[in-house]
Structure 1
Amino acid sequence: MAPPPAQPHVLLISSPFQSHVNPLLRLGRRLAAKGLRVTFTAALRDGIRLPDNGDVDGGVRVERLRGCGMWAPDDPRLRVPTDMVRHVEATGPAALGELVGREAEAGRPVTCVVANAFVSWAVRAAGDMGLPCAMLWIQSCAVMSVYYHYVYSLTDFPSGDESDSNSSGGAVTIPGLPELSIDELRPLLVYTSGHETWRQMLVMDLGTMKEKAPWVFINTFDELEREAIAGLSKHMPLVPVGPLVDPDDDSGGVEDDDGCASWLDAQPRRSVVFVAFGSLVDIGHDEAVEIAEGLAATGRPFLWVLRDANRALLPDQDAIDAAVVAACGGGRGKVVPWCAQRRVLAHVAVGCFVTHCGWNSTAEALAAGVPMVASPRWSDQRINARFIVDVYRVGVHAPTPLTRETLRLCVEEVTVGPEAEAMAARAAILGEKARAAVGDGGSSDRGVQAFVDRITYGAAEP
């Protein structure tokens, strides 16, 4: 009888943004649960929530990318995203080579590398070391398809100028997607001015996926984006593995961050308005006051994540604090600087989610079956909002910036309006499909298992 194969070792490499770290780490936990040795690395910077160097999180060992001139996590230059990305791209390949060498010397040779967006340099460096590679796309398949069709000129895109109008009136038609307006496309890197470095990296990422990555994981599931996946799969080898949420989050509990668990436990079922805008969106002073006043006007209990870094940017903190205190009168509201978002969304007390529509937040809400108030800001968020409202029909669109009256009306519409029960029912069905996709034998689970089988038994191609 042939001996069993050696335990494969997958090295995960993330860009140093929390919204990039989270899905890749969650993918790592799934790989570890299927018997692989998994190590996670990134050129970390202060503010990224991650276990300490050398610790194990859900079967994933964490090793910070370091040495070779790489800046320390507290280096102030890392606070400038463009400078940070250029520095990591310059120093990362050598640091990665040293890390792979240390793992080999420790008896843990790396079998495969999985990198996410904006670290395609890692795929090239790993390829030079003879290691097979995969990439993880952390946004929706729809957005990836938009970028792909733009970069490879497969669809006629308007220029983005206010006066420009192509034959379809400024709209873009892409296989598997609804028609998208220029207003929905304008926040993307395709059009956003002043982001040339990020645009170049996006083009590089897509080229790397197309030419060098035999596996392209994507944070979605077949039942959610079947048509978009089918359309883009004609051009690259997609493996849906989403939604990338922690597998133990569906218990309905929430870790006790600033008393969130006990506070939520005391609220009626589906009564709480949960407000969070992710790790990067900064709201201004006026909008913060409007949100506080709007939440008070709903008459509902609410949990609002207002990051310390965001509060520090607000010039009139006394006015914000006064508005928050008034909104939280009688203990009806709670404001925290951070929470375990997915666990909050899974709590039975949460009735709707006011969100910026980042894809991580969107996927987490869909997996939890929670209706949404969509207030998109930039990047992919307007397209995600379009799908939330018009395709999945599990939410309503709110103008940006939010005002107290529009927030009150939107919360009312999604909780007690004429379509509220239908939205909640559709959200619950999508939540069931999401759980089935990542469960044993589900569509996403099969994709993960196929990858595990191939690297375990020595296949170099999917």
Structure 2
Amino acid sequence: MEADLVGKAEAELDSKKLGRRLVFFPVPLQGHINPVIQLANVFHSKGFSITIIHTEFNSLDQSKYPDFTFHLIPDGLLEHEVSTSDVTVLLAKLNINCANPLRQCLDRLLQDKGEPVACLITDTIWYFTQELADSFNLPRIAFRTTSICSFLAFYSLPIFRKLGYLPKQDSQLEVEVPEFPPLRVKDIPAIKSRDPENVFSLISCMMEKTKAASGLIFNSFEELEQQELTKVGEEFRIPTFAIGPLHKYFPASSSSLMEQDRSAICWLDKQAPKSVIYVSFGSIAEMDETQLSEVAWGIANSLQPFLWVVRPGLVQNSSGLENLLPNGFLEAVNGRGYIVNWAPQQEVLAHPAVGAFWTHSGWNSTLESICEGVPMICSPFFGDQLVNSRFANDVWKIGLRLEEGLKKGEIERAIKRLMDEKESEEIRMRVSSYKEKINACVKEGGSSHQSVQSFIDYILSI
């Protein structure tokens, strides 16, 4: 499927050079970089020249993208700021530090006598870029890399606060939020920060500047989030384009910031069809040693073959597996599983041996799982993951949310339920149905394919 799309894209590129340049500015985090690279590839295949401006922090390997032009700008981050676990502080600092370097870089680009710049495409988190684009009379397109439902949940934070749902109280966590079904109070998106006011300030600025943008792109598709897409159009009143899942056009593996252990694929090749539970909690999530122990014993007690990603930093204040796995775990699983630091996730999910995906419910992971028709166990940690997992469980009904958190008993039951073909039949049918809808939406005439063309027509008209 992807090969056909790439071949067709290359044919279109050969026959149609638009003579216009798109400038991208991604947030330097793994889950944000991947979709930006994918989006750039899509538009490059349609005839646009691509320039990517990026920070020194988590800078990309430019040699992997010979068709793109890159500009590196200083981010002014100090060592302790780079290593902070407070993502809100990091993003707020970057919004301040990158303002002048980006202005200087854009000024040089716009004075270049080559292909004219059609627009600046930046992550919605880069709220400072709206005023900067306005000062150059340059259209800015906001790109949201999360689900549409979670975007709306973040947008509703002031309402949740006014209604008394925030700050969250333990006694209210299971209370339903009638203003935003099917959320419960515990599902309201939250980002851990030393100063909660920083979170509200960041989200408020992001939403205000997104409303002022010339357009808004989502890495999602209409068949999954039609109601939410309509709601965004009503609230933001700017042209909105759902053109995902972006990785269906071009694979994301080359934009990984971590080295992938391909031995995982060799191990999967030796396993029975749909027998393996794949476990990965993304590139940022953290847990303590007690939680890791619950995860380990939940996996062991399920008696199911498993591929488990335990990346450096997954466990707080630890750089690796040494002395982390509970005593007796390896003896208990007796060679039934395989553990790696990082895996080529798209290939793993597409592998016939994988029968389920235990995920943190990050949006990229959720989309990749749906695209391969793999049902999910959902263990959200923070932010949009809380909303994604609730919709996966209650609305799309393609996964099982672990309501008790990381508890070995619930983990064992969820794995056994999802890996039992009869017990999980309805979930598997639904996720397979969405897989078919995805395959249709990226083909010519499909909803996402049409949205790509609508965006191109729009951007060439302004």
TM-score interval, smaller chain: 0.7 to 0.9
Distance 1:327 1:181, change over 3 A: same
Find out whether 1:113 has 2:125 as its counterpart: no
Shift of 1:249: 4.9
Q: Distance in 1 between matches of 2:333 and 2:116?
A: 54
Q: Distance in 2 between matches of 1:61 and 1:386?
A: 40
Find out whether 1:383 has 2:383 as its counterpart: no
Check whether the contact 1:256–1:262 (CA below 8 A) recurs between aligned residues: no
Q: Distance in 1 between matches of 2:318 and 2:93?
A: 30
Structure 1 counterpart of 2:229: 229
Shift of 1:223: 0.2
Shift of 1:329: 2.6
Q: Within 5 Å, give how 1:11-50 maps onto structure 2.
A: 11-45=23-57, 48=58
Shift of 1:108: 4.6
Moved more, 192-201 or 127-136: 192-201
1:389 alignment partner, SS class: helix
Distance 1:129 1:173, change over 3 A: same
Structure 1 counterpart of 2:7: none
Distance 1:84 1:143, change over 3 A: closer
Q: Distance in 2 between matches of 1:59 and 1:301?
A: 41
Shift of 1:202: 1.2
Q: Within 5 Å, give how 1:41-60 maps onto structure 2.
A: 41-45=53-57, 48=58, 51-53=60-62, 55-57=63-65, 59-60=67-68
Check whether the contact 1:372–1:396 (CA below 8 A) recurs between aligned residues: yes
Check whether the contact 2:88–2:202 (CA below 8 A) recurs between aligned residues: no
Q: Aligned partner of 2:43: which letter? A: L
Q: Distance in 2 between matches of 1:357 and 1:228?
A: 18
Q: 1:335 aligns with which of 335, 339, 349?
A: 339
Q: 2:371 aligns with which of 367, 371, 374?
A: 367
Unaligned runs of 5+ in 2: 1-15, 253-258
Distance 1:225 1:441, change over 3 A: same
Q: Aligned partner of 1:92: which letter? A: C
Q: Distance in 2 between matches of 1:170 and 1:371?
A: 25
Structure 2 counterpart of 1:142: 149
Distance 1:110 1:79, change over 3 A: farther
Structure 2 counterpart of 1:9: 21
Q: 2:163 aligns with which of 157, 163, 172?
A: 157
Cα deviation digits, residues 109-145 of structure 1 (max 9, x gap): 4321111132121232122112111001122211222
2:73 alignment partner, SS class: coil
2:23 alignment partner, SS class: strand
Structure 1 counterpart of 2:330: 325
Shift of 1:35: 1.4
Q: Distance in 1 between matches of 2:98 and 2:393?
A: 40
Structure 1 counterpart of 2:246: 244
Check whether the contact 1:172–1:182 (CA below 8 A) recurs between aligned residues: no
Q: Aligned partner of 1:297: which letter? A: N
2:444 alignment partner, SS class: coil
2:128 alignment partner, SS class: helix
Structure 1 counterpart of 2:219: 219
Q: Distance in 1 between matches of 2:351 and 2:245?
A: 18
Find out whether 1:288 has 2:300 as its counterpart: no
Distance 1:123 1:25, change over 3 A: farther
Check whether the contact 1:370–1:424 (CA below 8 A) recurs between aligned residues: yes
Structure 1 counterpart of 2:139: 132
Name the TM-score, length of structure 2 as normaliser: 0.84
Q: Distance in 2 between matches of 1:13 and 1:304?
A: 33
CA RMSD of aligned residues (A): 3.1
Q: Distance in 2 between matches of 1:106 and 1:135?
A: 26
Q: Distance in 2 between matches of 1:290 and 1:173?
A: 34
Structure 1 counterpart of 2:349: 345
Shift of 1:382: 2.3
Shift of 1:439: 2.8
Q: Aligned partner of 1:148: which letter? A: Y
2:264 alignment partner, SS class: helix
Shift of 1:286: 1.7
Q: Distance in 2 between matches of 1:352 and 1:339?
A: 15
Q: Distance in 1 between matches of 2:307 and 2:384?
A: 25
Q: Aligned partner of 1:230: which letter? A: T
Q: Distance in 2 between matches of 1:163 and 1:328?
A: 36
Check whether the contact 2:89–2:198 (CA below 8 A) recurs between aligned residues: no
Q: Aligned partner of 2:71: which letter? A: E
Find out whether 1:394 has 2:395 as its counterpart: no
Q: Within 5 Å, give how 1:443-454 maps onto structure 2.
A: 443-454=447-458
1:209 alignment partner, SS class: helix
Check whether the contact 2:124–2:210 (CA below 8 A) recurs between aligned residues: no
Structure 1 counterpart of 2:269: 265
Distance 1:155 1:83, change over 3 A: closer
Q: Distance in 2 between matches of 1:441 and 1:219?
A: 18
Check whether the contact 2:155–2:203 (CA below 8 A) recurs between aligned residues: no
Q: Aligned partner of 1:144: which letter? A: F
Structure 2 counterpart of 1:420: 424
Moved more, 14-23 or 140-149: 140-149
Q: Distance in 2 between matches of 1:170 and 1:298?
A: 31
Check whether the contact 1:311–1:317 (CA below 8 A) recurs between aligned residues: no
Q: Distance in 2 between matches of 1:205 and 1:231?
A: 18
Structure 1 counterpart of 2:11: none
Distance 1:92 1:109, change over 3 A: farther
Structure 2 counterpart of 1:90: 96
Check whether the contact 1:145–1:232 (CA below 8 A) recurs between aligned residues: yes
Count of residue pairs brought into register by the alignment = 433
Name the TM-score, length of structure 1 as normaliser: 0.84
Shift of 1:319: 4.9
